[in-house]
A and B are shown apart, each in its own frame.
Chain A
């Protein structure tokens, strides 16, 4: 009996020791993570799949480059930790985006999020991010709501791409400063003739954001631009002929379309081929994607594309060498040209890594603070002032933008962009094609 009792006590002690040891090991494991987990939110399916592919590949490229150098130095552990990239597909749908971010933050327990392309999808995830308090470097979604939406805590959201307000304003200023004078000069219109602008926008946070950016700029700058047609379409639409026919009836001088690449290429083709709109079509930067150049074929010739990174050209700047190197590395790794959203996501991974290194810990609040105070040299894309910093009010980054005009390239068998604005970086002058027809007489 006594023997049994002794054995029982010994067993209990052994069990207690084992539990304590397990607890210690677990605590040690918690204290010593094996890696830095970065969650990439990308659209691998749905209307954004051609962009999502580039975002995923670019993020993977950044991770492999950082890991090749040993990973991210985390001061709290006094060592470099490799990055593990966990990719989640938001299917370019708001509900699937919420699922993707919930999985990354709850099941995968990522330390930081990178990516997010569709504005509608990214805005839908704001609640999850606010609840989980995981820093999120948004590299694609351009609605200002990403960091400015009222009624939800957006303090963990960091906007690493221009907003719809920024590029809406930039494109309209280009239209006023360059296209309007060119039309007036060619057709002997008076200086005070208002330019006739038609807008075709996606009925989403992104499309409405662009529309607001345009309207606000015209009003704020008191520009001689009149919006003569204002058409919307549903995300994923492929038939724009009737909307374009309505636009044609309004006799526009130029059309500004706010669409995703798969939509925008159809808009350009249907406008020029089917509806016979002999006008200049302006596109948003998200279309600076290799598939877009393929999709528009020759119909995109002389159209305008606002940009900050193009697969086929680069503005002369201090990051021109980095731009060329990124393109060469991407081509070597994936056998294709990169796109703009891809390069943002590539940089987003570096931004995330730098913030963790600056924070010296994986504590999410500390990483958030490090992002807010970040000041790191520009990487591939040119940033105003040369340093990546998030604005103190809405955590937005100011990129150097430029306008390109697409010119047919016989050798490539596709259009290629030439920078036409601003004057400091332009490769050629903007031209009105011979087939161009203005909307109406003065």
Chain B
């Protein structure tokens, strides 16, 4: 296969785009794990809900689908808070098995609720910029994907500022680093749990919006595979590490597309897990993880 620079650039770009969806999903998951130390297997279903909310608002109002991302994040934030308050909080600190089975149960509840509301046929949304491309060197880049990369970067910058520069962010980080210590200094850790879960769900909602706007097919069952990959990404990056989730997401996006190009499409999903296995052999705590996490 000829190694043309333009082609390689294009494959890299598809990897960046795919990485954006993974980053948003994995960052939310990592944030929740960092603070609450719970594993929410139903995180992909929040992406799916984000996709449907975006599509529904777009079809009903006809407004620019990118502007719906804020509404989607807010709605998913509220849904996330409800899940934390009604689902995870009552069982927090009991058995890990309870948390696992609760989140597994949530997968089916959310999927079936979505199927009841929206039906389970595969749907596609058409972006208003579907036909617009921008020449960039030897390749034509669809403007939708450029917007997606910019929007993801903006969300990550916003999240970083929130966590680093605000008292709320500092409280979240404190809870993540030492829950008991945070309680001693007067931080309401249960409130931090609730807010963190809301932020994580909001990020999954944003991933859902970008999923839909990029023209990807969606139905109530799309969340499972991205969620599995998001788990692999946070393990690869280091459990609870936001930079790890970002770097891991990028690695996965680019590796998947590189594998599809050089090895064939059937290797696309497998390569991610091969990378995970290799990293865990040499660095069991992940790329950015600390021992003991």
Q: State the A residues within 8 Å of B (CB).
A: 45-47, 49-50, 53, 203, 231-234, 237-243, 245-246, 248-250, 262, 265-266, 269-270, 273-276, 295, 297-298
Contact = CB atoms under 8 A, between A and B. Distances in A.
A274 B214 CA distance: 11
B122 A234 contact: no
B136 to A, nearest CB: 12
B179 interface: no
Contacts of A249: 1-2, 4, 7
Interface centre among B4, B10, B11 (most CB of A within 10 A): B10
B14 A248 contact: no
B140 interface: yes
User: Which A-B residue pairs are the 8 nearest by beta carbons?
Assistant: A233-B265, A242-B260, A242-B257, A241-B14, A238-B217, A262-B122, A249-B7, A242-B261
A234 B2 contact: no
B206 interface: no
Contact of B10 (A50, A245, A265, A266): A245
Contact of A53 (B7, B121, B265): B121
A245 B133 contact: no
A85 B7 CA distance: 53
Given A246-B261, A273-B130, A239 B121 contact: no
B4 to A, nearest CB: 6
A45 B264 contact: no
Interface in B140-169: 140, 142, 145
B130 A243 contact: no
Nearest to A201: B265
Interface in B1-41: 1-2, 4, 7, 10-11, 14, 18
Interface in B209-257: 215-217, 219, 221, 257
Contact of B11 (A231, A237, A245): A245
Contact of B140 (A49, A238, A276): A276
B145 to A, nearest CB: 8
B131 interface: yes
Nearest to A270: B215
A430 B239 CA distance: 57
Given A50-B121, A245-B261, 5 more contacts: A49-B121, A239-B14, A250-B1, A265-B124, A276-B133
B120 interface: yes
Contact of B265 (A46, A203, A273): A203
B120 A266 contact: no
| Residue of A232, A233, A239 with most partner-chain B CB within 10 A | A239
B215 A269 contact: yes
Contact of B14 (A237, A238, A245, A298): A245
8 contacts: A45-B120, A49-B122, A232-B265, A233-B265, A262-B122, A273-B142, A274-B142, A295-B124
Given A266-B217, A273-B142, A234 B265 contact: yes
A243 B215 contact: no
Contacts of A276: 133, 139-140
Nearest to B264: A232
Contacts of A248: 7
A248 B257 CA distance: 15
